[in-house]
Structures are given as structure tokens and as C-alpha cells.
Amino acid sequence: MLVIGFDPIIFRHLDALLLIVAGAAAMAVATIQMRQLREVSVFALQAWIALCATPALALLSLLFEQGQGAAIRTATGLELAAPVYSAIGASLIGHGIVYYLLGRYPVSITTR
């Protein structure tokens, strides 16, 4: 957040700065709430996040973007592999490790 938020051009776009601050605050609240979930497994937590986020993001994509079908039909193997890596590498493995650590250690240590 600091890298994005302290880019000098951001001060010409105060709406973007407010979105960055709101995103950081939302992540801080979510991290504290995840720390308090003792009886929920890492994979169950990720499944619920995916179940809630996927329809919302799909709807936003349909509303604000065009040409998704054509982009998928003409995508190369590397372009198709990128979201798979994001889903498995970043979400399942990366976030899974963070959620696991949040369940065992204080937030202040985990988020350093």
C-alpha cells in the first residue's frame, strides 16, 4: 500500500488516495477478524472468501468491462496460466500460509 499510496502522482487524484486508505483499513479489519476465527480451517476460510468474492467480481466485470469472451477465446497458454497461478500460487498457497500464521501468532508479528 505504501508504494502505491506514496507515488507523487497520487496527490493529483485524491479519490484514488481515499480508495487506497479504505482498502488498507478494510484489510486491517479483515486481518484482525481472521485472527479471531479459531474453529475455521484455512481451506474453509478460503472457500468462503471465494464463494463470496467470485459472483461479486464477475458481476463487476460484466458491468464495467467488455470483450471478456473474445479475450478468453484468443488467449495464449501463458495468458490462461496466469489466473491459474494466481488462484493456486497466490490464493491457496500464499494466503493459506498467512491465514495459518494469523491463527497461531499475533497480527503484529504476522503482518510485518
24, 9 contact by CB (below 8 A): no
First to last CA, the chain: 13
CB 85 within 8 A of CB 5: no
Q: What is the mean pLDDT of the chain?
A: 84
Domain ranges of the chain: 1-36, 39-112
Of the pLDDT bands very low, low, confident and very high (cuts 50, 70, 90), residue 50 is confident
Please, which pLDDT band fits residue 4 given cuts at 50, 70 and 90? Answer: low
Q: In this model, does residue 9 exceed pLDDT 80?
A: no
Give pLDDT, residue 2.
57
**Residue pLDDT, tens place only, 60-100:** 999 999 998 899 999 999 999 998 898 888 888 888 888 78
pLDDT the model gives residue 65: 94
